């Protein structure tokens, strides 16, 4: 077939083109790649699938995941075999733990050269074992469409996650044309691919628990966001008068200005934490509805935060997550459908008790918000002194759109964004909290922007994390991807240093960096950099950055002694 051929009329094509056509059928618009495998990448480009060329494979997978998080479609990342493939591992690991689908297409050595130490040959099946839901090689050209579809279906169905499809070189460089398997016509590139509802008898049982409870609350995790269940949880909250707290990954599932939103809870309810004053409310709860929530260490403050005596109801698409840490009434199903069914059941049974207690619950939440405001007064009103990130974000908040996309790197950036920026209206929050790896921030911001060219992206990253991915500034320049990246230039591996200090009273010698000027790094890539080293500089720098049509790096020279509200750090937090 030729460049201009109508892809739907094609009856036969090269194997590389058959792969490209299968991607297109599954809704793929971009591949995150670096040329390899060239035949497939070129075939993609021939039919209008654009390559987003990353500088480093890790970054490509982070971009891809953020694209998935913003579109609920399945992104494709491509890489060469061997060393390039090994660099996909970090990103796929994050996607696996965060339950987001990514299809990785990895070049494989030719079938006749397997196990001969071909150039850059490594056992990909073993390599990806711990970080993917499914890893297979296309065995023969006749099965190309079947295997591409399997990769999408498995990534998108059940608990979403990454899949890896290996493309043997001899198959994808074959220049002959073969028939396209026309029996495959579906698009499986969306998630959740199938929606299931939990058993209705159990939903009724859950409704009884929630309507009769003294002090219930919902604890929403990232599964609510990935299921697209925002309307359903917001309706349940409002119509049934049940307060909602979120994990970090669940931030954005409810509006944080709603009077029944408790905010993000977990390991950061220490000094000046946004939900600090709601700790007693969490701990007094008698019924807790967990939704799409892994009940992981940070979300439960090392499993100490949630009360042991409470009754738990757990909605999750993955039965294995239910009862992992808290024995629960098991509602196995998609969050969107199950929350909607739960609301219906509750309204049918009546929510009188909830309506009666609503005012006092709202008062309690309101009071905690006022106490938090008081906690922040000194930092928010300071006119001089070293820059605290909370103060910087106070100014960022004033400039965020109602549909802004807000991205954080791991480390304290996630804690800062979760606590000091508000999830209101349609704002979308992106965090790499599947595994919390450093360096995800900027590439995730880029993936989010590619998915939403009309929305603004603000990205907060640490200087340590940013050091992993500086190179992608060139990608921003080359492809015209526009994000605002604020680098917390505290000159330290902050979280690491603070945690070591809190636990051992000392820290190791990598925790302090020598000075890095991020405006010069930006300038070297043709990107605008703005240095902010006084509180006074903040508003003008943000105005300029937020109005720019190009990527801007804000180099925020912040206080190296800026302890986050993480409970275990309270001892060193003045
Ligand atoms: C890939 C990776 N390596 C190491 C860590 C361990 N780690 C967690 S936080 C942190 C320090 C981060 O420093 P920086 O990015 O400068 O952010 P800061 O805490 O200073 O804001 C380290 C090393 C990690 N989470 N991920
Ligand atoms: Mg740092």
Residue 434 DSSP class: T
The answer, yes or no, to whether residue 315 has pLDDT greater than 60, is yes
Q: What is the number of the ligand 1 atom nearest to the C-alpha of 437? A: 26
Contacts of 265 (CB under 8 A, 6+ apart): 219, 245, 246, 247, 275, 278, 279, 282, 299, 305
Q: Is the pLDDT of residue 456 over 60?
A: yes
C-beta of 255 in contact with ligand 1 (< 6 A)? no
Q: Does any ligand 1 atom lie closer than 6 A to the CB of residue 416? A: no
Residue nearest to atom 12 of ligand 1 (CA): 493
Pick the closest to residue 273 from 400, 364, 369, 361 (CA basis): 369
pLDDT surpassing 50 at residue 5: no
Q: Helix, strand or coil for residue 264?
A: strand
User: Which ligand lies nearest the alpha carbon of 467?
Assistant: 1
Domain ranges of the chain: 4-179, 200-367, 382-572
Average pLDDT score, the chain = 97
Q: Ligand 1 in contact with 441 (CB < 6 A)?
A: no
Q: pLDDT exceeding 70 applies to what percent of the chain?
A: 99
Mean of the pLDDT values across residues 526-555?
A: 98
Same fold, 200-367 and 382-572: yes
Measured by CA distance, the residue closest to atom 21 of ligand 1 is: 462
Alpha carbons 524 and 526: distance in angstroms, whole number: 6
Q: Which of 461, 466, 493 to mutate to test the pocket of ligand 1 (most atoms within 8 A of CB)?
A: 493
Alpha-helix residue ranges (DSSP H) falling in 382-411: 389-399
Instruction: Decide: 155 and 102 in contact? Cβ < 8 Å.
Output: yes
| Residue 427, Ramachandran bin (φ over 0: left; ψ between -120 and 50: alpha; else beta) | beta
CA of 163 to the centre of ligand 1 (A): 27
pLDDT for 506-525, tens place per residue? 999 999 999 999 999 999 99
CATH homologous superfamily of 382-572 equals: Thiamin diphosphate (ThDP)-binding fold, Pyr/PP domains (3.40.50.970)
In the predicted model, is pLDDT for residue 28 greater than 90? yes
Contact 492 CB / ligand 1 (< 6 Å): yes
Distance 139 CA to ligand 2 centre (A): 47
Q: How close is the Cα of 560 to the center of ligand 2, in Å? A: 8
- Residue pointed to by tokens 């003008």: 540
End-to-end Cα, the chain, rounded Å: 68
Domain 200-367 superfamily per CATH:
TPP-binding domain (3.40.50.1220)
- What's the gap in Å between 439 CA and the centre of ligand 2? 12
- If you take atom 26 of ligand 1, which residue's CA is the nearest one? 437
Tens of pLDDT, residue by residue over 215-270, are 999 999 999 999 999 999 999 999 999 999 999 999 999 999 999 999 999 999 99
Mean pLDDT (whole number) for 175-192? 97
Nearest CA to ligand 1 atom 9: 411
- Residue 64 scores a pLDDT above 90: yes
Ligand 1, atom 16, lies closest to the CA of 464
Query: For position 2, what pLDDT does the model report?
Result: 41
Grade residue 404 by pLDDT with cuts at 50, 70 and 90. very high
- Which pLDDT score, from 0 to 100, does residue 574 have? 78
Q: Is the pLDDT reported for residue 563 higher than 70?
A: yes
Q: Mean pLDDT over residues 411-415, rounded?
A: 97
User: Which residue's CA is the closest to the ligand 1 atom numbered 3?
Assistant: 438
Considering every ligand atom shown, identify the ligand nearest to the alpha carbon of residue 566 and give its number. Answer: 1
pLDDT at 7: 58
Nearest residue to 244 (alpha-carbon basis) of 398, 417, 230, 162: 230
The stretch 194-221 carries a mean pLDDT of 98
Answer whether residue 1 shows pLDDT above 50: no
Tokens of 356: 């009666």
Dihedral sign from CA coordinates of 408, 364, 210, 302: positive
pLDDT in tens, 344-395: 999 999 999 999 999 999 999 999 999 999 999 999 999 999 999 999 999 9
Q: How far is CA 233 from CA 156, 277, 431, 456, in A?
A: 22, 23, 20, 25
**pLDDT range class, residue 10, cuts 50, 70, 90:** confident
Which-ligand-closest: CA of 441? Answer: 1
Residue identifier of the C-alpha nearest atom 4 of ligand 1: 438
Q: Is the CB of 465 under 6 A from ligand 1?
A: yes
pLDDT of residue 314: 98
The token pair that represents 514 in the structure block? 């020598």
Question: pLDDT tens digits for 116-141?
Answer: 999 999 999 999 999 999 999 999 99
Nearest CA to ligand 1 atom 7: 496
> Closest ligand 1 atom, CA of 467?
15
488 Cβ below 6 A of ligand 1:
yes
Residue 414: predicted pLDDT: 98
Class of 4-179 in CATH: alpha beta
Please state the rounded mean pLDDT for residues 468-494.
98
Taking the alpha carbons of 374, 380, 384, 390 in that order, is the dihedral positive or negative? Answer: positive
Express each pLDDT in 87-117 by its tens digit.
999 999 999 999 999 999 999 999 999 999 9
Please give the number of the atom of ligand 1 that sits closest to the Cα of 409: 15
Confidence of residue 501 (pLDDT cuts 50, 70, 90): very high
- 436 CB near ligand 1 (under 6 Å): yes
**How far is the centre of ligand 2, averaged over its atoms, from the C-alpha of 556 (Å)?**
11
Q: Is 210 in the pocket of ligand 1 (CB under 6 A)?
A: no
3: pLDDT confidence band, cut at 50, 70 and 90? very low
């Amino acid at each position: 077939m030729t460049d201009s051929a109508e892809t739907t009329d094609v009856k036969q094509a090269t194997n590389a083109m058959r792969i490209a056509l299968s991607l297109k059928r599954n809704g793929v618009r971009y591949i995150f790649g670096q040329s390899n495998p060239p035949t497939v990448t070129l075939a993609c480009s021939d039919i209008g699938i654009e390559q987003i060329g990353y500088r480093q494979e890790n970054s490509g997978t982070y971009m891809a995941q953020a694209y998935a998080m913003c579109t609920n479609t399945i992104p494709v990342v491509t890489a060469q075999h061997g060393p390039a493939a090994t660099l996909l591992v970090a990103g796929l690991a994050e996607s696996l733990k965060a339950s987001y689908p990514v299809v990785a297409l990895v070049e494989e050595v030719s079938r006749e050269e397997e196990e001969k130490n071909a150039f850059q040959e490594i056992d990909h099946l073993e390599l990806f074992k711990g970080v993917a839901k499914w890893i297979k090689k296309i065995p023969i050209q006749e099965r190309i469409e079947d295997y591409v579809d399997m990769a999408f279906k498995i990534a998108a169905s059940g608990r979403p996650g990454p899949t890896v499809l290996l493309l043997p070189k001899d198959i994808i460089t074959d220049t002959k044309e073969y028939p396209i398997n026309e029996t495959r016509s579906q698009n499986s590139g969306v998630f959740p691919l199938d929606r299931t509802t939990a058993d209705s008898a159990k939903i009724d049982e859950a409704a009884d628990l929630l309507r009769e409870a003294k002090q219930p609350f919902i604890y929403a995790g990232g599964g609510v966001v990935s299921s697209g269940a925002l309307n359903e949880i917001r309706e349940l909250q409002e119509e049934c008068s049940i307060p909602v707290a979120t994990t970090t990954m669940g931030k954005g599932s409810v509006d944080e200005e709603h009077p029944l939103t408790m905010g993000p809870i977990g390991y950061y309810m220490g000094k000046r934490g946004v939900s600090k004053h709601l700790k007693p409310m969490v701990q007094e709860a008698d019924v807790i509805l967990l939704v799409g929530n892994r009940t992981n260490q940070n979300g439960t403050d090392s499993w100490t935060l949630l009360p042991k005596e409470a009754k738990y109801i757990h909605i999750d698409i993955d039965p294995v997550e239910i009862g992992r840490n808290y024995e629960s009434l098991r509602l196995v199903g998609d969050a969107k459908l199950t929350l909607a069914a739960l609301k219906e059941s509750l309204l049918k049974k009546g929510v009188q008790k909830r309506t009666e207690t609503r005012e006092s619950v709202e008062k309690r939440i309101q009071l905690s918000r006022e106490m938090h405001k008081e906690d922040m007064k000194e930092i928010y009103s300071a006119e001089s002194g070293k820059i605290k990130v909370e103060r910087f974000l106070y100014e960022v908040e004033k400039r965020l759109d109602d549909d802004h996309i807000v991205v954080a790197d791991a480390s304290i950036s996630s804690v800062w964004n979760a606590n000091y920026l508000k999830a209101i209206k349609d704002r979308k929050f992106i965090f790499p909290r599947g595994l919390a790896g450093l360096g995800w921030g900027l590439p995730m911001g880029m993936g989010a922007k590619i998915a939403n060219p009309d929305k603004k992206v603000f990205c907060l990253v640490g200087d340590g994390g940013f050091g992993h991915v500086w190179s992608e500034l060139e990608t921003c320049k080359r492809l015209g991807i526009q994000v605002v990246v604020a680098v917390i230039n505290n000159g330290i591996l902050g979280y690491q240093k603070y945690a070591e200090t809190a636990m051992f009273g000392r820290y190791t010698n990598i925790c302090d960096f020598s000075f890095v000027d991020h405006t010069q790094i930006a300038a070297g890539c043709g990107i605008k950099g703005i240095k902010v080293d006084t509180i006074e500089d903040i508003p003008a720098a943000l105005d300029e950055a937020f109005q720019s049509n190009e990527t801007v790096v804000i180099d925020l020279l912040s206080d190296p002694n800026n302890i986050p509200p993480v409970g275990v750090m309270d001892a060193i937090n003045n």
